[in-house]
Amino acid sequence: MNTNKILILGVTASGKGTLAFNLALSLDAEIISIDSMKVYRRMDIGTAKPPMHARQRIKYHLIDIIEPSDSFSVGSFIDAVQQAIEQIDNHGKTIVAVGGTALYIKALLYGLFQGPGADEQLRVELRARAKAEGLAELHRELASVDPTAGESISPNDAKRIIRALEVYRITGKPISAQQRQWDALDVAPDWTIIGLRREKAEENKQISARIKKMIEAGLVDEVKSLLSEEKPLSKQARSAIGYAEIIDHLAGRMSLEDAIELIKKKTRRLAKNQRTWFKTFKSVNWLDIQPQEPNKEILVRIKRILAKQS
C-alpha cells in the first residue's frame, strides 16, 4: 500500500504544529511527531505538545511513549517511527510528519549515520577533560578540526561534542565529512517536504511569546511535579530547554526571571542550529511566512504545493 507522506519542518515556535493539525484534519491523515522531547509522558507544557482536544480529533504517534526517567536515542526513534509508518500505512491514511529535531528528521529521510563503534576508553578521557577544562574547551577543539560540526553542534551539547571528537580521533576524518553520505542521497520519492520560514526578528518574537505562554500555563509547577516523582528524571529529560533552567531556579541557583531569560537565549540558539541543519536538506518546498499571516492562508499555499506534487 503506497501511503502519501508529507513532512512539515521548521524551527521551534514556527507554527508548524498548528499547521500540521489543520492539514491532517483536512486530509483525514494521522500525525507523526518528530520531536526528541514530546516522547516523554507528563512533560507537556515545556515541550509544547498539541492540546488534548487536538489529540482527540487526530491520531498522533510518538507522543507520550516513554517515562521521563528513561533515555531515548535516535536509534529508538528510528524503531518507533518505522512502526508508526507501518501502522498508518495499514490504515490506508496519509502521513503528516511534523517536527524540528533536525537529527531525527535527517535520519527519517536519509537513514542513520552509523560511524565507527564506541571507544569507551576515549570517551572516558574526553569526559574527564570536559570536567577538568570545561566543555567550551572541547567545543573549541572540535571547531578547529571540524568547523562544520563546530557550527552545527551546540557548545552545551556534551554528548555530540564528545562523539564528534571520538569519531575524529578514531578515523582521522571529521564527522561532518563522513555524514555527507546523507548529502549524496535524495529524499525518498514518496515524501513531500514543506518548510516554514520566518524573518529572524519574527521568529524571536514567536519564541518569546511561546515561553511567556508556557510560564503562564504552569511550567514551574509541571517541573515541581516531575521532580517529586519516585524515579528521577533521565539526563536527557533534565537537560531539555525549559526544564533544565526551571530545575536550577527551584534549586535556588537562579531567579525565575533569570531562568526565563536563559530559556529564551537557549531557544534562540536552538533555532539558529535548526536553520543550519535545514539548509543541508534537499527537495524542501520553502514557504516564507509573513507576520500575522492567517493559518488558513498558509494551509491554502501548502495544498497548492501538494497539488503540484500529485
Span 191-230, pLDDT tens digits:
999 999 999 999 999 999 999 999 999 999 999 999 999 9
pLDDT class for 186, splitting at 50, 70, 90? low
Q: Where are the alpha helices (DSSP H) in 97-198?
A: 102-110, 120-133, 135-145, 147-152, 158-171, 175-178
* Average pLDDT estimate for 288-297: 94
pLDDT at 170: 87
SS3 242: coil
The domains of the chain are located at 5-113+191-309, 120-180
Instruction: Of 5-9, 35-39, 144-148, give the lowest mean pLDDT range.
Output: 144-148
Position 198, amino acid: R
279 phi and psi, to 5 degrees?
A: -65, -25
Contacts of 224 (CB under 8 A, 6+ apart): 250
- The answer, yes or no, to whether residue 182 has pLDDT greater than 60, is no
SS3 50: coil
Q: In what order do the strands lie in the sheet with 191-197?
A: 60-61, 30-34, 95-99, 5-10, 191-197, 284-288
pTM greater than 0.85 (yes/no):
no
Q: How far apart are CA 92 and CA 70, in angstroms?
A: 32
Query: Are both 5-113+191-309 and 120-180 of the same fold?
Result: no
Q: What angle do CA 293, 297, 298 make, to 5 degrees?
A: 80
Q: How far apart are CA 2 and CA 164, in angstroms?
A: 37
* Average pLDDT estimate for 156-165: 90
Q: Identify the CATH number of the domain defined by range 5-113+191-309.
A: 3.40.50.300
Assigned C-alpha cell, 276: 543550519
Contacts of 149 (CB under 8 A, 6+ apart): 142, 143, 164, 174, 175, 176
Contacts of 114 (CB under 8 A, 6+ apart): none
Q: For a pLDDT cut of 70, what percent of the chain falls above it?
A: 94
- The answer, yes or no, to whether residue 99 has pLDDT greater than 60, is yes
Enclosing H/E stretch for 192: strand 191-197
Q: Is 301 exposed, middle or buried (0-12, 13-18, 19+ CB in 10 A)?
A: middle
Instruction: Of 11-25, 80-94, 277-291, give the lowest mean pLDDT range.
Output: 277-291
* Average pLDDT estimate for 2-25: 91
* Average pLDDT estimate for 284-293: 94
pLDDT at 249: 98
Contacts of 166 (CB under 8 A, 6+ apart): 118, 119, 122, 123, 126
pLDDT class for 2, splitting at 50, 70, 90? very low
Q: For a pLDDT cut of 90, what percent of the chain falls above it?
A: 72
* Average pLDDT estimate for 74-93: 91
Q: CATH assignment of 120-180, given 1.10.20.140, 3.40.50.1950, 3.30.420.40, 3.40.50.2300?
A: 1.10.20.140
Higher pLDDT, 240 or 1: 240
pLDDT at 107: 83
